[in-house]
Copies of this chain bind each other. A is one copy, B any other.
Amino acid sequence: MPGLASETIGIWVAAGSRDESAETAGSTHFLEHMLFKGTGSRDAKTIAAAFDRTGGDSNAITAKELTCYYSRCLVTDLPNITGLLVDMVSNSQLDVEEFERERGVIIEELAMSADDPGDVLFDDFDSLVFGPHSLARPVGATKDQARVLGHHTVIDHYQSTYIPPRLVIAAAGGATHEEVLEMVEDALAEAGLGSRADVWSGAGNGDAASVAKGSHLGGAARVRPEFHSGKSHTVKDIEQLGIMLGCEGLPEGDDDRFIYSVMLTMLGGGMSSRLFQSVREERGLAYAVNCVASQFTDTGTFGIYAGCTAENAQAVVDLAVSEWDRLAQETPSQFELDEIVSQLSGSMVLGLESSAARMNRLARSEIFGLPLESPMDLIERVRSVTAEDVSEMAGRLLSRPKALALVGPAAEVELP
């Protein structure tokens, strides 16, 4: 991204909470925390200060299939930050005293999430639909699991997972491809981790302005989960009832992902979407109502989210199903389709200005083994979606078994 003073760099690990067993539950997230607690040459405070000093945005995220350590900083700070990230990923000490202290922090983080009705709703939905599969578990596991997780489990996880070919380094911003490569190589050499020949599988497959190197998932043996329909209700003494109604969605990289994307946007992707207009604008029943989709390597979830009073919950669910059904039954107009294509295209072009968004896109392409298409190619793919495609997609999803998760006051709501 020539002319940009900043760069976003991320080190990704193709492992997440779904790769844990019941015994190792929570270890991916715990390990993410521990990477900030010290390496052979840096203690926790040194690591924190090195990130903060840049004035940038540095953090880590653990998800169900991915872990990522990232920083957005000035290009002038990039050599230091690259060295730091590589050191954290390759030389973490996992000190046992730090480990026990961090347990308290993680339990507080899980408690904070338990007090967020939205977090609870999304966790409940996954728990409902993925049943006994590891995708059903919250990313950080439960507080009880975090309380008993063993130090050795996290060490095992680190040693078995934080190695090529599970690691991907992606970057986007003002530095050139060659500059980033050199910084990464210097960092790897400093960490005692070989040369370019050992590590790189080839030149960057990124667009001219970006770098994404590493390897695919590395053969994580994953079992595809079954989707379970049904209903759950976590009763909480709060004001709003949170509703998530959905079905199995599309996996990452599905051939129909552009159709899916158009359908999600048309049904519940903005303030002009059908759900927003019907539930909020025409009837004033909810403040927030929108579609939510998660993609995993072999499955996905599609959901309609809304928050409303318990008395209005059945009406909101009925309206949502009716809009979903109408989209399936009646081919949308070319005008409405053009509006959505414009929205998605504009969003893609605007997204090009964000080094963080581009770093993410590069990394996900690499990890999920998807072609890295240019924004113009992506816009072409969106433009090729027809109104009939969108209806067919809505109908395909509508015919699938459904799940309904509720969080909030007691309410009578039927599973459609």
Residues of A that sit less than 8 Å from B by CB = 3-6, 36, 44-45, 48-49, 51-57, 72-74, 77, 100-106, 108-109, 111-112, 114-117, 237-240, 269-273, 276-277, 280-288, 307-309, 339, 342-350, 352-353, 408
- Give the CA-CA distance A105 to B347 in the complex, in Å: 27
Q: Please name 19 further chain A to chain B contacts, defined as beta carbons within 8 Å, in addition to the given A36-B271, A55-B345, A101-B281, sorted by A numbering.
A: A5-B352, A45-B281, A48-B276, A51-B270, A52-B272, A54-B343, A55-B347, A55-B350, A56-B350, A74-B349, A100-B284, A101-B284, A104-B284, A105-B280, A105-B286, A108-B286, A112-B240, A114-B239, A116-B116
Cβ-neighbour of A111 out of B74, B240, B344, B350 (below 8 A): B240
> Closest approach, in angstroms, between the C-beta of A130 and any C-beta of chain B?
24
Q: A55-B343, A108-B309, A342-B53 are in contact. Are A48 and B281 (CB under 8 A)?
A: yes
Shortest distance from the beta carbon of A48 to any chain B beta carbon, whole Å: 4
Q: How many copies of this chain does the complex contain?
A: 2
B56 contacts A346, CB within 8 Å?
A: yes
9 A-B pairs with the lowest CB-CB distances in the bound complex, closest first: A55-B346, A104-B284, A55-B347, A48-B272, A111-B239, A101-B284, A108-B287, A52-B270, A109-B287
Residue in chain B with minimal CB distance to A279: B105
User: Is A49 in contact with B272, judged by CB distance below 8 angstroms?
Assistant: yes
Specify which chain B residues have a CB less than 8 angstroms from the CB of A272 in the assembled complex: 45, 48-49, 51-53
Complex: A6 Cα to B384 Cα, angstroms: 25
Closest to A240 in B: B111
